[in-house]
Structure 1
Amino acid sequence: MKGWLLRNPGKMNDPSIVKIMKVVDENKIDLTVVDPLKIHVICDHEFDGRIYVGDEVMDVPDYVIAAFFTEKNYHTAAVLRMLESVGVLCINSYDCIKNVDDKLLTFQKVAESIDEIYFPKTLLVTEQTDAAFVSRVFEYPVVMKVMHGSKGKGVVLVNTEKEMDNLLNMTTASEMGDEIIIQECIKASTGRDLRVVLCNGKYDNAFVRENKESFRSNLAKGGKIVKYTPPTAVLEAAEKVAELLKINMGSVDFLFGENDTFYLCEANAMPGIAFDLHEMFKNLVKQVENMPKPLWKKRLEKEGKSC
């Protein structure tokens, strides 16, 4: 079974990528590192199983691990859509990455489809948003964050209307290039959250991230991991979110509310490596084996051609 790791070969030092490649080497897994920016996106009714990567011609893989991280743009999105269209299992899919990258979209989809899951009230900041309006809609403190941030970057706690006014003036003047959202602060969850890790959209393991020095629980900000077994209702909620957002391998994070209430915080596609990589690759094999034969293969077989 052939796989591709979609990653710039010059950016292989990410800890998660290092762990993946170690398991790949130890188990002699057929996984080729392919730069997604070099893949030519061609939509062809007569597709014959060949994909052009730079000046090379490569056979279509059985699966790809989409771990390009910083190279998310129209081209790499089109690469994923092309691979999916020819029957390649993409971990994760274009739809998944689109859904989880946009924190507001995540909440909107949940609000539309899953009534029993709570999430913090969220406001999209525009040029029309002023501190007085924020004070009408929220009680302080509130959380202000960039839409596409990760590892706790671009997240601040705002305690007063004056602080909000200063931050809104700064973001308007700086033209940051990313959307900003303001969220209700779930005070009971200050410095901690729950991460439910999913493999093939199903519960794999869970842990709490705790940080006694900051309201942000991220490991990159000094947080620590504590193993935790969530209530069954939370696990079921995580799997519902995963199904809705089309998360194959990733996580759903929750905040701790009052009276044993949990609030959806965000969802992630491949958030570091929080599951057993050996099991991940075994799971990939099963998923590939259970996928339907793509149309192009059926067409070639009908024509008596090999692929």
Structure 2
Amino acid sequence: MNTYGWIIYNGNLPGEKFLDFAEMLQDSASKHHSKTSIIKNNELLASLSSKDAALLSVYELPDYVVFTDKDIYLAKQLELLGIPVFNSSRVIEISDDKIATYQLLAMASLPIPQTIVAPKVFYHRSEKQLPNLDAIVHQLGLPMIVKESFGSFGEQVYLVHSIEELEQKVMELYGRPFMFQEFISSSEGKDLRLQVVGEKVVAAMKRTASNDFRANVTAGGKMEAYVPDAKAEQVAIAAAKAIGADFCGVDLLFGSNGSYIVCEINSNAHIRNLLDCTGVNAADAIMEYIISKVNNEGTR
């Protein structure tokens, strides 16, 4: 059955990285005889009234949407119109919020760094009430990770070595959601990225950094193709399932004794680096999965 889909990306961000991801998906969709339109999120306006939820758009409504952005309200609006969205607005919301992600991973009994969530502060004020930092250090040790709940490319992740550094960082982040985490020293400067589609790992790479505790390629890390063992695949697939993702990039840390620890889940992980590194175009697996699911469950 021929289908028509939208591929939505963020129209407000600079550079071609986000458009490139959308074009990779579009090329793969065409291989499966599905016509698609690439649309910026700011070309679609959600309209709400006491009568209905609608969409102001010049485009024909699609059979499905591949959502590569974090515009959760727009994704939800499309779902209210009865359009299947991949990943769903709920998955995007959870993945974008690292605290919410860790809560679901913990409830699924999956391996994560020991984490303490900073108390919520609703507004910034000159008089700051800090949590008991001594108790946090006693629980997690030093050095430790301080991680903001919202952020990308490793830019909102900090390694602190002393109680003084910790206090300074907490003061800097006051008013933002963040957490304290155990530092996994066995994975310093290295991790794994596994691309999960459905219940399969379709490609993986190892990332390493020589001068940073983070292994993100954007932060200067190097990448190499990697063949994960069954244990790594099992953890990555279970992590994707825990947040309900149809597809995602799962970052694993190297634990002790050959174990793996879930670091993060990205519901719209870019796949260009993965293709360059491994030769595997994850867009093919993503679009095959989506189009098959839409055809099996029926289009609008």
Q: Does the TM-score normalized on the shorter chain lie above 0.5?
A: yes
> How much does 1:11 deviate?
4.2
Give 5+ residue unaligned stretches, structure 2: 120-128, 275-280
Structure 1 residues 138 and 19 mapped into 2: Cα distance closer, same or farther (>3 Å)?
A: closer
Give 5+ residue unaligned stretches, structure 1: 295-307
Q: Does residue 1:291 correspond to 2:291, yes or no?
A: no
CA distance in 1, matches of 2:268, 2:295: 22
SS in 2 for 1:30: strand
Q: Which residue of 2 aligns with 1:34?
A: 39
Q: Which residue of 2 aligns with 1:53?
A: 56
> How much does 1:231 deviate?
1.9
Within the candidate set 261, 280, 286, 2:286 is matched to 280
Within the candidate set 236, 239, 260, 1:238 is matched to 236
Structure 1 residues 168 and 45 mapped into 2: Cα distance closer, same or farther (>3 Å)?
A: closer
Q: Which residue of 1 aligns with 2:178?
A: 180
> How much does 1:82 deviate?
3.2
8 A contact 2:10–2:40 mirrored in 1:
yes
CA distance in 2, matches of 1:139, 1:25: 48
8 A contact 1:41–1:79 mirrored in 2:
no
> How much does 1:16 deviate?
4.2
TM-score norm. by structure 1 comes to 0.80
Q: Which residue of 2 aligns with 1:104?
A: 99
CA distance in 1, matches of 2:139, 2:63: 49
Structure 1 residues 291 and 87 mapped into 2: Cα distance closer, same or farther (>3 Å)?
A: farther
Structure 1 residues 78 and 201 mapped into 2: Cα distance closer, same or farther (>3 Å)?
A: farther
Please list the CA deviations of residues 77-126 of structure 1 after superposition, one character each: whole Å capped at 9, or x if unmatched: 3332232344423121111111211212212112222x3x2111111223
- Greater C-alpha Rg: 1
8 A contact 1:43–1:82 mirrored in 2:
no
SS in 2 for 1:18: helix
Structure 2: which amino acid aligns with 1:68? D
> How much does 1:9 deviate?
4.1
CA distance in 1, matches of 2:25, 2:91: 25
8 A contact 1:9–1:33 mirrored in 2:
no
8 A contact 1:42–1:82 mirrored in 2:
no
CA distance in 1, matches of 2:268, 2:96: 12
CA distance in 2, matches of 1:85, 1:181: 33
CA distance in 1, matches of 2:35, 2:13: 20
Q: Which residue of 1 aligns with 2:163?
A: 161
8 A contact 2:9–2:19 mirrored in 1:
no
Structure 1 residues 128 and 88 mapped into 2: Cα distance closer, same or farther (>3 Å)?
A: same
The residue correspondences of 1:85-104 to structure 2 (distance < 5 A) are 85-104=80-99
SS in 2 for 1:98: helix
Structure 1 residues 12 and 167 mapped into 2: Cα distance closer, same or farther (>3 Å)?
A: closer
Please list the CA deviations of residues 101-154 of structure 1 after superposition, one character each: whole Å capped at 9, or x if unmatched: 1212212112222x3x21111112234414323222221010112111110102
CA distance in 2, matches of 1:200, 1:12: 31
> How much does 1:213 deviate?
1.3
Q: Percent identity?
A: 23
CA distance in 2, matches of 1:23, 1:80: 18
CA distance in 2, matches of 1:277, 1:124: 35
SS in 2 for 1:59: coil
> How much does 1:155 deviate?
1.3
Please list the CA deviations of residues 197-251 of structure 1 after superposition, one character each: whole Å capped at 9, or x if unmatched: 0123432111111111110100011111122222212212211221221111211
TM-score norm. by structure 2 comes to 0.82
SS in 2 for 1:265: strand
Please list the CA deviations of residues 238-293 of structure 1 after superposition, one character each: whole Å capped at 9, or x if unmatched: 11221221111211111101111111111111211144323433333212111245
> How much does 1:19 deviate?
4.5
Q: Report which stretch shifted further, 226-235 or 8-17.
A: 8-17
Q: Does residue 1:229 correspond to 2:234, yes or no?
A: no
> How much does 1:8 deviate?
4.3
> How much does 1:52 deviate?
3.1
Aligned alpha-carbon RMSD (Å): 2.7
